[in-house]
Amino acid sequence: METDILEMTRRDRDRLKVISNVEKGRLTQKEGGEQLGLTARQVRRLVSRLREEGDAGVLHQSRGRPSNRRLCEEERERVKGLLRQETWRDFGPTFAQEQVAKQGYRISRETVRKMQLELDLRKPRRRREVHRSRRERRACFGELIQMDTSEHDWLEGRGEQMVLVSMIDDANSRLRARFFLKDTTFSNLRLIRRWVEEFGRPVALYVDKASHFKVNRPRSLEEDLEDREPQTQIKRAMEELGVKVIWANSPQAKGRVERLFGTLQDRLVKGMRLAGISSLEKANEYLLEEFLPEWEERWTVKPRNRTDAHRRVHREMDLQAIFSVRETRTVRNDYTVQWKGRTFQITKQCHPQGLRGGKVEMEVRVNGDVAMRFKTEYLEFVEIEGAHRGTRRRPAPISDQASKNLVAGAIDLVGL
């Protein structure tokens, strides 16, 4: 006597028990469907198959059959050949699957991952036992913007060393980023200004305690006498805009932007590798035209509250002046100002009261322009070429070369 042996999983056995109870009238079709997560119609079909085929009727009909979407052996070898390429060897499963799909192969991420394990291109991850709950996202777009800089070999030796300065919204993960040669006050001011011009003034900016965000020294004697805290150019600019600056005490505290860099150092680096990018200009072009639109479409989320928390920029807010680096200088008796080893002559004939011996602010804007301000009034000035302390020379119009030197000296001041 032949005996058929059925291989059944625990899930199959549980399903058989419920369908048997329905078939015997112990459960209604609706009650059986609720237990199995099926509709009443699906339950009726399983009951009919149980009556016709016996216990085998509850098993999935495709069990033991090859998938209709399974790649043939020749296509599998071609995909493996792509994964073995030197430029693909460090691709993650998701990114690799996207690139394979662009080559015309319909294949799942999990299949790609298994191929990579088979080819010894990656190792299985071990799950961490320690669990840390993430802070809940802010409710509104513009309520909290996280900002940080990533120093990385973005071009993998094909070009100059760059840093990536990024800003990401905590509520919806909207991203704005830009490559710069160095992480400086100016590079951060430039990106913040782009954000403000595009969306408005956010409520708060969440940053680390780097020196261009926070003054990490005791108060000077002058600051102590005036009972004021020292502040960086960025902190001063945010105060003028009415944006609160929050300093993170650890990288984990600003986890969203830290996790962002993990993604960018993977996908962005490999995307630029495939595009053959080898310069700062082309990297920013790829970032703005290719990567950020894809990020906007795939990785941004809807905030819990649709209200935009950004505030508009008021007319009295001069963004050119706010997003600048300032230094205070004293006006000498002959209405000249010494700054960065140069002498500048104030040319306006009707000088404001209190200008001589008073304090002026030299402003270096993000576009390299230099301005001189006394209280609320901007002054006209020219550079006196070859002037030395204690001598007076007739002011001459500033030459093109002198103008370039002036801007270069101003840029050197902040390390742009």
Whether 395 and 344 map to the same domain: the answer is yes
Q: Answer whether residue 380 shows pLDDT above 50.
A: yes
Whether 181 and 229 map to the same domain: the answer is yes
Whether 169 and 30 map to the same domain: the answer is no
Whether 221 and 345 map to the same domain: the answer is no
Whether 292 and 163 map to the same domain: the answer is yes
Task: Please give the pLDDT value at position 60.
Answer: 65
Task: Please give the pLDDT value at position 15.
Answer: 79
Whether 174 and 83 map to the same domain: the answer is no
- Rounded to an integer, the average pLDDT of 334-341 is 90
Residue 40's pLDDT band (cuts 50, 70, 90)? confident
Whether 259 and 149 map to the same domain: the answer is yes
Task: Please give the pLDDT value at position 395.
Answer: 41
Global pTM reads 0.69
**Structural domain count of the chain:** 4
Inter-residue contact 232 to 301 (CB < 8 Å) = no
Task: Please give the pLDDT value at position 393.
Answer: 41
Kindly state the tokens that stand for 279: 């310069």
- Separation between Cα atoms, residue 150 and residue 166, nearest integer Å: 8
- Separation between Cα atoms, residue 146 and residue 125, nearest integer Å: 29
Q: Which pLDDT tens digit goes with each residue over 182-208? A: 999 999 999 999 999 999 999 999 999
Q: Answer whether residue 408 shows pLDDT above 60.
A: no
Question: Which residue did the predictor score with more confidence, 83 or 389?
Answer: 83
Whether 213 and 273 map to the same domain: the answer is yes
Q: Answer whether residue 87 shows pLDDT above 60.
A: yes
Question: Which residue did the predictor score with more confidence, 222 or 293?
Answer: 293
- Rounded to an integer, the average pLDDT of 115-144 is 77
Q: In what order do the strands lie in the sheet with 370-374?
A: 324-330, 359-365, 370-374, 377-379
Whether 40 and 167 map to the same domain: the answer is no
233 Cβ contact partners less than 8 Å away, ≥ 6 residues apart: 185, 189, 212, 324, 325, 326, 414
Q: Answer whether residue 253 shows pLDDT above 60.
A: yes
Average model confidence (pLDDT) across the chain: 83
Beta-carbon neighbour count of residue 334 at 10 Å? Answer: 10
Task: Please give the pLDDT value at position 130.
Answer: 52
Question: Which residue did the predictor score with more confidence, 369 or 126?
Answer: 369
Inter-residue contact 212 to 185 (CB < 8 Å) = yes
Q: Answer whether residue 178 shows pLDDT above 80.
A: yes
Token pair 């053959």 is found at 276
- Separation between Cα atoms, residue 43 and residue 57, nearest integer Å: 12
Q: Which of 18-32, 41-55, 285-299 has the highest mean pLDDT?
A: 285-299
Task: Please give the pLDDT value at position 67.
Answer: 60
Residue 246: give its domain's CATH number.
3.30.420.10
Inter-residue contact 9 to 60 (CB < 8 Å) = no
Give the E-state strand segments of 26-132 in sequence order: none
Task: Please give the pLDDT value at position 21.
Answer: 86
Whether 289 and 169 map to the same domain: the answer is yes
Mean pLDDT check: name the lowest of 131-135, 179-183, 300-304.
131-135
Question: Which residue did the predictor score with more confidence, 224 or 171?
Answer: 171
- Separation between Cα atoms, residue 51 and residue 23, nearest integer Å: 8
Task: Please give the pLDDT value at position 220.
Answer: 77
- What is the domain extent for residue 332? 324-414
Whether 150 and 275 map to the same domain: the answer is yes
Mean pLDDT check: name the lowest of 14-18, 145-149, 158-162.
14-18
- Separation between Cα atoms, residue 245 and residue 360, nearest integer Å: 27
Whether 160 and 283 map to the same domain: the answer is yes
Mean pLDDT check: name the lowest of 21-30, 120-129, 212-221, 276-285.
120-129
